[in-house]
Amino acid sequence: MPEKKSGYSVGVKHAEENPSQIGVYAKEAVSLMDGLGSNLFHIRAELYSLLGTAKTNDEQFALLQSYMQGLDDVGAKGRINLWLIWSHFEKRGIYPRPIIQDGYVIFFDNLDDDDRKAGSAKIHRIDMATGKTVWSYTFKRKKIGAFQHYIVGKYLFCRPQYLGDSDSAANPQPFCLDTETGNLLWEYRQKGDRYGIEQLMGAFQNLFIASTWAGVVAINPKTGKIEWEIKADAHNCGDIISSEEQLIIKTKEREVSWVSPKGKVFKKCKLPFPIKDEGYIYAYRMADDGECLYLAVRGHDYSDTYREKSVTIIYKINKSTGKKERVARLDDFLCWGMVLAGKTLYVSDEERSYAIDLGSSNRPVEMPYYIWAENNGDLLCVNKQHPILETPQLTIMGERGSLWTRDGVYPLAVSKNLIFCEERPPDSSNRGKNLVILDQKTGKELAKVIDSSRYGPQVFLINETRFLLLEDKKASLHEIRK
């Protein structure tokens, strides 16, 4: 068998040099793969077909990229095969926070500076089975930088933001779309400037929950009207935890409240925080084990340097009674992440983590890791949390210590047996360009997807065998086959 050559590298190199001849170079690249056997026949046939029907050179380049990487991966011993189901291309870019529901995905335009000056932002619904566009909605305002969004049932609530503007009064009115038809249902009509929406926070009792300068409001997704409101600090309301019976939310800088389905506060818990009056408390971080709520209250004193006065206090609150208990105080530490794994609570800042044993009175144990996630009883830890400046190191920690370590990768998503990572080599001057799929037990590389985007890939798991890969201007659905 002839030595395998990289169809991807050959085809893309030529395509970049002369995009108008991409179809010719695609055939040239495929011809180099003839020695791999007949199992590539259907891939080659589909490649030719799609290249022939592509509407723009950019689309052709995206298709070439996807199929060439598939040819490169076929036949590699001990690896998995990735099969492209479909690709969706948006010339102006895709905002990296899609909505994935049963049977469809919703994308938002991610406009660059030139597009923001001239174009209107669009929202697209894509059929998950075929990759075809079901509908597109055009938001007829220019200079839109992004959309905050949340979905309840078939109702999609969007808060558009002008480029560079954070004040809610300066941004266009939020609106709601029917996800089945793409029709505009209503625009949010605020009662005054204080009711401009600062943040979409989630859903409770099939109502949209949002923070405004007047407090927290619940908005009916069918009508856009405010059903109830509670007084709360507008700045950084932060995380919420909701169930069918209650909503737990920050209402003041040092207070958490329990809210009934009717919007009535029926329980409060005040959280002392030992800093000066000029200090500032950030939004809480929360973890929930079903019975108790764990809050990381974090802040620092502006009268001194940023790091010297930073402090985080961990509270445990019984969700039924509201009784609080201080678990730990961590000085010179500003909590950014929280992971609850069994009876151990892990809190992380930008450089390190602490492990807090909730079943004992032992002092928190400092760890030189950022705890990224817990999966199947193991911890996914990133050794360095400044991956743009330094090479990250992924370590899998089991009950008996480190299971394996791999340099130059940063986790994006975790399935039952696989870890999807962004490759960030030490010689990279910016973010990595490739997606690598690792075996969770051994750390062995099972597949690689070449990514040509500026900002690196993003992965959204659909099920155990399918995942959505998001790049700058392209979304693609892939299937893992043995």
Span 409-451, pLDDT tens digits: 889 999 988 999 988 766 555 555 688 999 998 999 988 877 6
Provide the pLDDT for residue 173: 78
Per-residue pLDDT, averaged over 1-9, amounts to 45
Q: Please give the CATH number for the structural domain made up of 271-361.
A: 2.40.10
Provide the pLDDT for residue 75: 44
The tokens for 423 are 């490759």
Q: Of the ranges 191-200, 430-439, 463-472, which is most confident?
A: 463-472
> Which backbone phi and psi does 205 adopt, to 5 degrees?
55, 40
Better-predicted residue by pLDDT, 151 or 252: 151
Cα end-to-end span (Å), the chain: 22
For the segment 382-400, what is each residue's pLDDT rounded down to a tens digit? 876 554 556 788 999 887 7
Provide the pLDDT for residue 144: 63
Q: How confident is the model at residue 468 (pLDDT cuts 50, 70, 90)?
A: very high
- Global pTM reads 0.76
* pLDDT over 70 (residue 190): yes
- CB-based burial label for 180 (10 Å; 0-12, 13-18, 19+): exposed
**Domain boundaries in the chain?**
1-75, 271-361
Q: How confident is the model at residue 454 (pLDDT cuts 50, 70, 90)?
A: low
Number of H helices, E strands in the chain: 5, 37
For the segment 122-166, what is each residue's pLDDT rounded down to a tens digit? 899 999 999 999 999 987 766 665 678 889 999 999 887 765 555
Q: Which residues of 63-77 are buried (b: 16+ CB within 10 A; e: fewer)?
A: bbbbbbbbbbbbbee
Better-predicted residue by pLDDT, 246 or 69: 246
What are the distances in angstroms from CA 466 to CA 417, 425, 473, 479?
Answer: 13, 26, 20, 4
| Distance (Å, whole) CA 183 – CA 174 | 14
Provide the pLDDT for residue 129: 92
CB 319 within 8 A of CB 256: no
Provide the pLDDT for residue 162: 65
Better-predicted residue by pLDDT, 350 or 75: 350
For the segment 257-290, what is each residue's pLDDT rounded down to a tens digit? 888 988 999 888 887 765 544 445 555 677 888 8
Q: Of the ranges 41-45, 248-252, 317-321, 374-378, which is most confident?
A: 317-321
Contacts of 352 (CB under 8 A, 6+ apart): 366, 367, 368, 369, 370
For the segment 76-131, what is each residue's pLDDT rounded down to a tens digit? 555 777 888 888 888 777 887 899 988 999 988 776 545 445 556 789 999 999 99
Q: Which residues of 371-391 are buried (b: 16+ CB within 10 A; e: fewer)?
A: bbbbbeebbbbbbbbebeeeb
* pLDDT over 70 (residue 167): no
- Per DSSP, the residues of 331-369 read ET----EEEEETTEEEEE-SS-EEEEETTS-PPPEEESS
Per-residue pLDDT, averaged over 292-321, amounts to 73
Can you give 432-453 as a three-state secondary structure string?
Answer: CCEEEEEECCCCCEEEEEECCC
* pLDDT over 70 (residue 366): yes
CB 337 within 8 A of CB 348: yes
For the segment 319-342, what is each residue's pLDDT rounded down to a tens digit? 888 888 989 988 888 888 888 888
Greatest alpha-carbon pair distance for the chain in Å reads 75
Provide the pLDDT for residue 481: 78
Place of tokens 């997807």: 449
Provide the pLDDT for residue 177: 94
